[in-house]
Structure 1
């Protein structure tokens, strides 16, 4: 495993674009801390975002993992480019000639996916823990370490998404077209979701029951939007006669769906590579 990881690390670190994207990704994750500095002082109106409770335990686990998930496209570009470069530079063929099996090749890519996901998760966990200890009104140990299922959901979501990127990269072999396909696939899912609403009606639960098995949709379902949990948002909603009764729980079956997709993406990547004439 270490040998495979070392091979991938050398390839990534020799690529200038990959280094820039990796550094940029973690800089953006760190920028979450800058949210605490957002203040608006307009006459009698004084607004400090950190005082709205976004960094309170355990809410911070939900908020930060949701926000950090938007930055995963940076690593997605790296993974897709990593696979595309193997074909364009013909290093995949050379690796196979040098004795690396196709199974080991896929394993090395998946190990990279796991590493990116794990490092990103640890980084978000540590950042959230530090911000929470600084700004949270609740610092009891039992409260700090409650709702950590959002961290698990974050890890699972990223492994699933990066595995999808790996599969698309092997399938299409061109980074620009592979990234374009990811966007197109997302559009296809939304169109399909709209068709389901049209067929079954807006009040039916069937569209959501079916759409939860879509790849992107299943990953998105792991971490629901956290903003409607804020007391300030609820207060505004109550004033206009609205109430939020959303389920923010990370369910085991939602995690299972993404895990199954992950296994399928890696398996399909291996089968595709095994049958392809390089």
Structure 2
């Protein structure tokens, strides 16, 4: 496994575009700290950090949600990784050199897991530093609560990048693979609309939608902002109820893990049947 990872990291690091995108991805995660400097023009000005977005344990929810949005940067790396294999004919050369198709797909999946893990650790470190600087609560029991959001972040990245890996193998061209990704996201929304409008109730349609790949990944980490006490107080004053379910549920993990396994398996089947 170490040998397979070494091969992939060498390929990525020798590709200038991939190197720039990977570095940009991690730099942007660091830029989450800049949110603390955003000031709302109320009275003398209110810093966003003063609203408690960097308080423990809320910070784990907030930062994992923001960092998950940035996954599109690495999605480009994943689909480009496969597109370059075809355009540069390195996939054929790897197979000639003795790498099996199973090992080839495994090397890509290990790369996906590695970057998902590195991203999760990176978010943990950035969040810990910001929390220790800005949080009003520094008790150990509070600091290390709600850590399941980091696990959800990791699983979400693995699932999403596995989907991108499959699209990269299926389409062979990075631009078309990314276009297909966008089309699939639109398809899930259209399917939800058709189900709710013509076939069944909106509640049932929403439950069906939660089993679709991209929607199930999105459901792992719900938006965190209505969870803020300041937002809750404003909502209560105007008679709105923002009592949503922000928790991470085990069945949501299972759905995403199912899609992850399916995408990796389909990637192998597709590569196995394809004449390279």
Matched-pair contact (CA < 8 Å) for 1:96–1:102: yes
Cα deviation 1:93-137 (Å, max 9, x = unaligned): 111001000011001000100011000000001110111111111
Q: 204, 208, 221: which one pairs with 2:206?
A: 208
SS at match of 2:86: helix
What TM-score do the two structures reach when normalised by structure 1? 0.97
The question of 1:46 aligning with 2:45 is answered yes
Please state how far the C-alpha of 1:40 moved relative to its aligned partner: 3.9
Q: 232, 246, 249: which one pairs with 1:248?
A: 246
The question of 1:3 aligning with 2:3 is answered yes
Structure 2 CA distance, aligned partners of 1:200 and 1:228? 32
SS at match of 1:244: coil
Please state how far the C-alpha of 1:41 moved relative to its aligned partner: 5.1
The runs of 5 or more residues in structure 1 that have no matched partner are none
The question of 1:13 aligning with 2:13 is answered yes
Structure 1 CA distance, aligned partners of 2:151 and 2:258? 16
1:35 is matched with which residue? 35
Cα deviation 1:163-197 (Å, max 9, x = unaligned): 00000000000010000000000000011111122
2:184 is matched with which residue? 185
SS at match of 1:273: helix
With over 3 angstroms needed to count, the CA separation of the structure-2 counterparts of 1:249 and 1:40, relative to structure 1, is closer
Structure 2 CA distance, aligned partners of 1:238 and 1:196? 33
What TM-score do the two structures reach when normalised by structure 2? 0.98
Please state how far the C-alpha of 1:237 moved relative to its aligned partner: 1.2
Cα deviation 1:181-227 (Å, max 9, x = unaligned): 0000000001111112213566x421121111100000000000001
Structure 2 CA distance, aligned partners of 1:241 and 1:35? 29
Structure 1 CA distance, aligned partners of 2:47 and 2:91? 52
Matched-pair contact (CA < 8 Å) for 1:200–1:206: no
2:135 is matched with which residue? 136
With over 3 angstroms needed to count, the CA separation of the structure-2 counterparts of 1:237 and 1:201, relative to structure 1, is farther
Q: 239, 261, 272: which one pairs with 2:237?
A: 239
With over 3 angstroms needed to count, the CA separation of the structure-2 counterparts of 1:200 and 1:241, relative to structure 1, is farther
For 1:141-220, list aligned pairs within 5 A: 141-199=140-198, 204-220=202-218
Structure 2 CA distance, aligned partners of 1:154 and 1:196? 29
Structure 1 CA distance, aligned partners of 2:174 and 2:94? 20
Please state how far the C-alpha of 1:55 moved relative to its aligned partner: 0.5
Structure 2 CA distance, aligned partners of 1:151 and 1:218? 16
Structure 2 CA distance, aligned partners of 1:40 and 1:121? 30
Structure 1 CA distance, aligned partners of 2:44 and 2:233? 17
Structure 2 CA distance, aligned partners of 1:59 and 1:69? 16
How many residues matched? 276
